[in-house]
């Protein structure tokens, strides 16, 4: 799950260099230790990352145990974290801690959290309905009732659209209301053409 021990060894060597002013004999890359030391300081015997700006201090994690403690504090602890997800946990960890693979480790920690997995939203796929195959014009047509809209001079406030699902031809009829009687009256002229009717929208019988 976590990175190998090389990064921890490097930070320990870096801490020793800042404390003693000497690069450890077992250092694999002395130049890297010297160059990196400009972004770190020692305070209260702890290695802190300050970066080029030197405006913020973040505690450098030096072991797997310290890393787990930081992740637990920033994600699992009810008083300081409360399972805030990947982004929220990353923000908390980055604000106070520093190590080489911090982003990836936070993602894996949250993904392996039992509570987060349990509370994750269940994704439900929408139900797909079969569509009747149209073989000729006006065999199947659809109705859609739109409105209320701004009232016209003839007191019309709604529009009934009738769409032939074969040719996609659309007929629009103005209506004064959404009553079932008026809808029926508007589409009576097409009733003898259609063998099947598909509707959507709102139909109110008054």
Distance between CA atoms of residues 175 and 157, nearest Å: 6
Distance between CA atoms of residues 31 and 33, nearest Å: 5
Residue 53: DSSP 8-state: T
Strands, E assignment, 50-179: 58-60, 97-98, 140-146, 158-164, 170-175
Place of tokens 């009553």: 179
Q: What is the pLDDT along the chain (206 residues), one digit of tens a residue?
A: 334 457 888 888 889 999 988 887 877 778 888 888 899 999 999 999 998 888 889 999 988 999 999 999 888 877 666 777 888 888 889 889 999 889 999 999 988 888 877 766 544 455 555 556 567 776 777 777 777 778 888 888 888 887 877 777 777 788 888 887 887 777 665 554 444 444 444 433 33
Q: Catalogue all structural domains in the chain, each as residue range(s) with its CATH number.
A: 6-119 (1.10.340.70), 140-200 (3.30.420.10)
pTM above threshold 0.85: no
Distance between CA atoms of residues 120 and 123, nearest Å: 9
What is the separation of C-alpha 77 from the centre of its chain, rounded to a whole number of angstroms? 23
């Amino acid at each position: 799950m976590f990175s190998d021990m090389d990064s921890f060894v490097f930070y320990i060597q870096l801490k020793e260099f800042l404390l003693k002013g000497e690069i450890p004999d077992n250092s694999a890359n002395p130049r890297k230790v010297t160059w990196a030391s400009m972004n770190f300081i020692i305070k209260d015997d702890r290695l802190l990352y300050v970066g080029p700006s030197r405006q913020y201090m973040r505690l450098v994690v030096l072991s797997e145990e310290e890393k787990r403690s930081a992740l637990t504090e920033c994600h699992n602890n009810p008083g300081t974290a409360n399972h805030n997800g990947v982004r929220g946990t990353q923000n908390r960890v980055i604000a106070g801690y520093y190590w080489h693979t911090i982003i990836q480790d936070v993602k894996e920690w949250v993904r392996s959290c039992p509570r987060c997995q349990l509370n994750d939203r269940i994704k439900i796929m929408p139900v797909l309905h079969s569509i009747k195959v149209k073989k000729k014009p006006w065999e199947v047509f659809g109705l859609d009732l739109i409105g209320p809209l701004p009232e016209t001079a003839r007191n019309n406030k709604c529009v009934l659209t009738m769409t032939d699902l074969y040719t996609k031809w659309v007929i629009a009829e103005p209506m004064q209301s959404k009553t079932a009687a008026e809808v029926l009256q508007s589409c009576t002229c097409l009733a003898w053409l259609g063998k099947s009717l598909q509707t959507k929208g709102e139909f109110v019988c008054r």
